[in-house]
Amino acid sequence: MQTHDIRNRFLTYFENNGHTRVPSSSLILDDPNLLFVNAGMVQFKPFFLGEEPPAYPRATSVQKCVRTGDIDEVGKTTRHNTFFQMAGNFSFGDYFKAGAITHAWELITKSRSDGGYGFDPERLWATVYHDDDEGFQLWRELSGLPEERIQRRGAEDNYWDMGVPGPGGPCSEIYYDRGPEHGRDGGPEADEDRYLEIWNLVFMQEIRGEVSPKKGGPVLGELPNKNIDTGMGIERVALLLQGADNVYETDLVRPVITRAEEMSGRRYGRDHTDDVRFRVIADHARSGVMLIGDGVTPGNDGRGYVLRRLLRRIVRSVRLLGVNEPVLGEFASVVRDTMAESYPELATEFARIDSVVRTEEEAFLQTLTTGSKIFDLAAGETKSSGGSVLAGDKAFQLHDTYGFPIDLTLEMAAEQGLKVDEEGFRRLMAEQRQRAKDDAAQRKTGHSDGAAYRSILDSHGVTDFLGYSDLATESRVIGLLVDGRPTPAAGEGTEVEVILDRTPFYAEGGGQLADSGVITTDGATVEVRDVQSPVAGLNVHRGKVTSGELMLDAGAHAEVDATRRRSVSRSHSATHLVHAGVRKALGTQAAQAGSLNAPGRLRFDFTSPGGQVPASVLADVEDEVNDVLLHDYDVRSEVVTLDEARKQGAIAFFGEKYGDKVRVITIGDYSKELCGGTHVHRSGEIGVIKLLSEASIGSGVRRVEALVGLDAFRFLAREHVLVSQLAEQFKAKPEELPDRIGQTVERLRAAEKELEKLRGAQLLSSAGTLADQAEDVNGVALVAVAAPDGVAGNDLRTLAGEVRNRLGSRPGVVALFSAAGEKVNFVVATTSAARDQGLAAGKLVPAFAEKIGGRGGGKPDLAQGGGSNPAGVSDAVTALRAALAQR
């Protein structure tokens, strides 16, 4: 049975049993605790945590997942994978244990002709939580499993929670006996290689505290609504139904290995070392393509670093298999061809995916050259100091600055007989990741841990946002926090967080800055500076009580700063137009990678694997979007289903979480995007858009910055004044300025070259005078003086060399000093005859360097340096003279 069929049978079965089919979410969601989605239930967390009311009582999905904790183990075993598909069925206060067990058993054991998987019931085992007598009995009654094939296990294996205080409960796992050739008898407790887990049923029925029951913590009580969360591993079921020995030999993974075999001429299964490399290629190619498909681009931190590491491990593995030509595009094509049936976006977005992997591979080849040099230097310093361990900060620098994977550093260190301080490296990595998480979490939750927000949400429900149509509302204060803790009142001067039952204030999101404004009650005024949504559905107004005392449950008048809102809305609508213009010019691979919509300006980030965008293209984009403004198109918003929005061609953004209903913003026939932000009513309201700059902000990602509306007009007005002034200065028409300025610059360059020649001639003329002034010191002709004014750098070396030449065959030493503000530079040169007597320029420097507070060095014929005491030049000359006299 093919993997796509396994996937479809699961979804069809649960749809036929009253479940809503929910599409897989993106691998990247706005969750500060997760780098990537790593389980099927992640997109439903708000339902389980009570942050949002469930949109349906039952759901089913096949969620794409990435787990990165064991990247180093991938390939070394056949058990570790980074990308996998998790099929699940979910009940939100609907059916519970009996329903979950019945559904799972029926689907697994039903014949293939009837839409099931056809597993032999005699080879199936179940596990339950050690004191879950109800679960044990239900398995006996509903499946007919004998008691000896239902094993009780402890909390570490059969208790589940989210890793934070909140819902939890016992779980029950289904195992398949692969036979005695795979291990010993005794069920899952004895051997989990022979008895392969294929499905986990979580019975979410309890509330846990700070310490998980997995670690001996107490259960605080029962959930008011009991939930079901299950996860069936698609790849594991595939290997069983396809008779494969492991995931790497299944229909969606083996083709990547086959392509690697064709390219390398080597065969999988013949050599363990090569097999590790083949498996790394197969696993990472799938993960990399899926991540890029969801909008991740290679970078040096966070998600971008994980992707970069995956792709670069592929390149290394292929080269160790003897393949030196570019390979990532080839493997990406194989992944597209095998996976697109379930994930059609891989085909529609393949031009962008292909560009990203090819650009990254090219960059990595350069990194290998540069990084290897840096590594060799660090390894040499470690050895020369008698060490045998490369410092963790050196390994981190290689990764952070040069994109050098730690496993490559480890391998190269081993080749030189060195170890690496992995603990120090990982500590620095962890600190970097934690800083990023803390920053994101702090921005969202401020001082609170989230519990206070959830309590307000549970008590009062979601905030009614009226800001699309109203800029002022009559509201009620339903929540008041100071330093993250609820309070009944807050006095003048207090920083507060205010939650209203209804609000016109837009909470920061989708690249749009939050509204500002004022909340007033009968007894207080609050200046609102920021609005966030730390818990989905709840708008939290942050600001300061500027007068009076703010009371909980008070009636309030909430009013947005209308001028600022309109300016931000103009920027947001302008961003949509710039996005559309860039995509028209560069193609669909130019996908939005971030944005900032602020008063009067915007910042738009987009993927551009081809590198810098030509100025002529940007000029065309600017002309086109301003033409849209002249047409004064209607800007419409409508709420439709996600499927309908996609059929309309609306652009959705990678990493965004969408519900069944989405808001679509349409600007004429030019732009159509999913967006929750605020916008103008007609495109003409934007006024004018002026693109200011385009630059790189990371590998394959470019940034355009622009001014909008009055800010753009003022910028253009200033430019007009500047052009007028230049035209007056050059006595030319504005259109003649480029040629006239170019001619002037060329004349200046020619004049500078002529001055350089004159300065050189002047130096040469002074060289003769200085040589004639040489004094005899112990048989050596010494010229030690301050150079003529304005001589420094290369000119000082040139002059010293010319004076030395003028000394002819005599033993001679030339020492010239040049003061420059509070510093002094010097050059020492020696003739051949002087060097024959043992007078090396570099060895003469210590004789006088202290006098000018400096140091220097060089070769026997020429040395140079500097100091911080120009007043000491006379003493330095005296010291050098004395050193020559005493030799």
Rounded Cα distance between 621 and 625, Å, is 6
Contact call for residues 607 and 356 (beta carbons, < 8 A):
yes
What is the arithmetic mean of pLDDT over 517-540?
93
| Residue at token pair 């390939």 | 75
pLDDT single digits (tens) 480-509: 999 888 999 999 999 999 999 999 999 998
Confidence of residue 790 (pLDDT cuts 50, 70, 90): low
Amino acid at 264: S
pLDDT at 444: 47
pLDDT at 235: 95
The secondary structure of residue 682, as a DSSP letter, is: B
Residue stretches of the annotated binding site for Zn(2+): 572, 576, 675, 679
Residue 56, Cβ neighbours under 10 Å: how many? 14
Residue stretches of the annotated binding site: 572, 576, 675, 679
* Range ranked top by mean pLDDT from 1-15, 315-329, 523-537, 595-609: 1-15
| Residue at token pair 């993974």 | 253
Residue 531 three-state SS: strand
Distance of CA 270 to the CA centre of its chain: 38
What is the arithmetic mean of pLDDT over 618-646?
92
**Rg for the chain, CA atoms, rounded:** 36
* pTM check: above 0.75: no
- Buried b or exposed e, range 635-670, using 16+ CB within 10 angstroms: beeeebebeebeeeebbbbbbbebeeebbbbbbbeb
pLDDT single digits (tens) 271-301: 998 999 999 999 999 999 999 998 888 876 7
What is the arithmetic mean of pLDDT over 84-105?
96
Higher pLDDT, 660 or 184: 184
Confidence of residue 729 (pLDDT cuts 50, 70, 90): confident
Strand partners, 231: 200
Query: pLDDT averaged over the chain?
Result: 89
Rounded Cα distance between 622 and 613, Å, is 13
pLDDT single digits (tens) 151-183: 999 998 999 988 778 889 999 999 999 999 999
Beta-carbon contacts of residue 335 (< 8 Å; ≥ 6 apart):
256, 285, 286, 289, 290, 346
What is the arithmetic mean of pLDDT over 782-791?
79
Q: Find the range with the poorest average confidence among 333-342, 402-411, 832-841.
A: 402-411
pLDDT single digits (tens) 346-378: 998 898 899 889 888 887 877 777 777 888 888
Distances (CA, A) of 858 to 662, 791, 865: 70, 20, 9
Question: Concatenated DSSP letters for 601-634?
Answer: EEEEEEE-TT-SPPHHHHHHHHHHHHHHHHHT-B
Residues 701, 595, 287, 392, Cα dihedral to 10°: 70
Rounded Cα distance between 204 and 47, Å, is 12
Just give the CATH number of 566-716. 3.30.980.10
- Buried b or exposed e, range 544-557, using 16+ CB within 10 angstroms: ebeebebbbebebe
Query: Domain residue spans in the chain?
Result: 3-242, 253-440, 450-560, 566-716, 766-886
Contact call for residues 818 and 786 (beta carbons, < 8 A):
yes
pLDDT single digits (tens) 574-587: 999 999 999 999 88
Amino acid at 393: D
Contact call for residues 196 and 215 (beta carbons, < 8 A):
no
pLDDT at 438: 62
pLDDT at 535 over 70: yes
Beta-carbon contacts of residue 881 (< 8 Å; ≥ 6 apart):
775, 777, 782, 784
pLDDT at 180: 94
Confidence of residue 114 (pLDDT cuts 50, 70, 90): very high
E strand or H helix that includes residue 730: helix 710-730
| Residue at token pair 């749809």 | 15
Residue 170 three-state SS: strand
What is the arithmetic mean of pLDDT over 69-95?
87
pLDDT at 242: 96
Regarding the domain delimited by 450-560, which CATH topology (the fold level of the hierarchy) does it fall under?
Elongation Factor Tu (Ef-tu); domain 3 (2.40.30)
What is the arithmetic mean of pLDDT over 819-836?
90
| Percentage of the residues of the chain whose pLDDT score is greater than 90 | 56
Helical ranges in 229-386 per DSSP H: 234-241, 254-264, 272-293, 302-320, 328-339, 345-348, 350-384
Rounded Cα distance between 177 and 489, Å, is 63
pLDDT at 436 over 80: no
In CATH terms, the superfamily for domain 3-242 is: Bira Bifunctional Protein; Domain 2 (3.30.930.10)
Just give the CATH number of 766-886. 3.10.310.40
Q: Say if 450-560 and 566-716 have the same CATH topology.
A: no
pLDDT at 656: 55
Rounded Cα distance between 388 and 379, Å, is 9
pLDDT single digits (tens) 687-704: 999 999 898 887 678 899
pLDDT at 655: 47
